Amino acid sequence: MHALTPRPVSSSVQAMGARLDAAIAQAIAQQRIVGAVVLVSRDGEVVWRRAMGMADREMKRPMREDALFRLASVSKLFVSVAAMALVAQGRLSLDAPITTWLPAFRPLLPGGEPATITPRHLLSHTAGLSYGFLEPEDGPYHRAGVSDGMDRTGLSLDENLRRLASVPLLFAPGTDWIYSLSIDVLGAVVASAFGASLPDAVRALVTRPLGLGDTGFSVCDRARLAAAYADDQPSPRRMREPDRIPMLEGLADIVMDPARAFDADAFPSGGAGMIGTADDSLSLLETMRGGGGALLPPELAAEMARVQTGNLPVVGLPGWGYGLGFSILKDATEAGTPETPGTWRWGGAYGHSWFVDPTQKLSVVAFTNTALEGMSGGGRFPQEICRAVYGS
């Protein structure tokens, strides 16, 4: 495997900050994003932070460092760590059938045979599940009325999983990779194993031990919640409630409803349903980079950061594999990135990205309020931030 020689992060925080300031300011001036919060931690110290642009353009409310964001798939990080905390406590096993905790969740293989799904399959997106936005508009998830976790449907989590289980798996668990609703299923496993609701489980297992009071499945302070915008020309438009965001040509749109954040009856989507701050996410990432802290023993933190997918292609991400909860860089040349092999990365559809480069002792969180431009893998902004950090 050929990889780029790891480039050390610039020794000058001032120079890095100037590059980051320029990258954020340019994205705002070019009307690709409305606002952003970007944080950089090196060797356990937050060395640079910035809030720029507007949290609410129409209300002329500036972005602030403690702004709250709809996290979308950044939620997966918190729920994945909660599952691993239960593994550490002996209340969950990575390789046991999930029917141990969800007896009714028994989707069949395409030929009608039974399948065995484990928490490891769910965490690594190798369970054979998918997302509605990764199939055509008339696909089986749409026909079954399955929610992707960002719309407002009135469904309970149990009912959404019942509908999901009625659709055949795309492949036998462990034999392929596709991004999916598996973390929503994992959320139900976590709740069952913990013996309480998913929000209570995540609070007890992750956010409370780290003192992260701003992140959860409900909005702690409406005045700090950033408005949601979507890519458009000549500038991002304020998202409708609900809204349909095109993602991949020929496939269904992502249905997103920013008002879901205020809906007390919305089911807790483990894959997309949380609200929080950039600082809270950085604190969790730094805890994991440091070996798990009070949450996990080092061997389980290391297991999350180990490629679980072997040589399976991670669709849309050349050069990357997948661990337990996030992607892992395998080949920097193939990926076209200055990050060091072994880097962890993911993001969220509302406009977020994060990465951790353990070799460089570096963690970066870049949250915007603009879908999909700020999303890792979906827009230019995360790549611009990455290049600015590394000076490449």
Write out the catalytic residue numbers. Answer: 73
Phi, psi of 367 (to 5 degrees): -105, 135
- C-alpha R_g of the chain: 20
Look-up of token digits 């879908």: 371
Give yes or no for a contact between 391 and 16, defined as CB atoms under 8 angstroms apart: yes
Q: State which amino acid sits at residue 219.
A: V
For 170, other C-beta atoms within 10 Å of its C-beta total: 19
Look-up of token digits 């973390």: 183
Give yes or no for a contact between 4 and 365, defined as CB atoms under 8 angstroms apart: no
Q: Which residues pair with 357 in a beta bridge?
A: 362
Look-up of token digits 């110290």: 45
Alpha-carbon span 313 to 194, nearest angstrom: 33
State which H helix or E strand residue 300 sits in: helix 298-304
133: CB partners within 8 A, 6+ apart: 148, 247, 248, 251, 252, 253, 254, 255
Torsion from C-alpha of 162, 173, 71, 332, nearest 10 degrees: -170
For 255, other C-beta atoms within 10 Å of its C-beta total: 18
Using alpha carbons, list the distances in angstroms from residue 285 to 41, 282, 325, 374.
10, 5, 12, 19
Alpha-carbon span 141 to 132, nearest angstrom: 5
Can you say how many angstroms the Cα of residue 282 is from the centroid of all Cα atoms in its chain? 13
* DSSP assigned state of 98: G
Give yes or no for a contact between 375 and 352, defined as CB atoms under 8 angstroms apart: yes
Q: What does the angle CA 84 – CA 86 – CA 87 come to, to the nearest 5 degrees?
A: 60
